[in-house]
Amino acid sequence: MKLIILDRDGVINEDSDDYIKSPDEFIPIAGSLAAIARLKQAGFTVVVATNQSGVARRLFDIGTLNTIHEKLQRELARFGAGLDGIFFCPHGPEDGCECRKPKAGLLREIATRFQVDLDCVPSIGDSLRDIEASREVGAMPILVKTGKGQRTLDKHVTELRDVAVYDDLAQAVDALGN
């Protein structure tokens, strides 16, 4: 199985420091949906692993989160694609859960669900916590400059020196040969 793990906000859709709280605020980054479609056409199993602390902060509920993800799947269907799974952490930073990145609980859940070893599986994110979670399970971390990516790169140059960096998801997918 060819698996790839994507963060959501800042990788697939525009990010906001105020959180993506409704389907109307979910705006795909140019080229990201077509890039996912290319991955699917190349035979990849494509999953999302995303922190969604807005649930714990009571900015939106699980029903709204599901509606946002339904919109994402509808948008992808226009490209003849869809995600094979969306894994999310609804907890806040103080909750001490194992699923909130930079901890790797979400990624371990993906490995269990799909019965795969995550060694060298591409894992694309826009924050240091995405990179750290990927490293913890032996996945291949990739940083995109969209979302908080450029800010992350500027702030953590040393920690990211061995991480592939691309302008956006489309460019990262091109680099993977798809």
- Active-site amino acid positions: 7, 9
For residue 162, which of 135, 126, 129, 125 has the smallest C-alpha distance?
135
Q: Where are the alpha helices (DSSP H) in 78-145?
A: 105-114, 128-136
Give, for 153, the enclosing helix (H) or strand (E).
helix 149-155
- SS3 at position 75: helix
- The two structure tokens encoding residue 119: 């060694």
- Rounded to whole angstroms, the Cα distance separating 23 from 65 reads 8
Is the separation of the CB atoms in 36 and 86 below 8 Å?
no
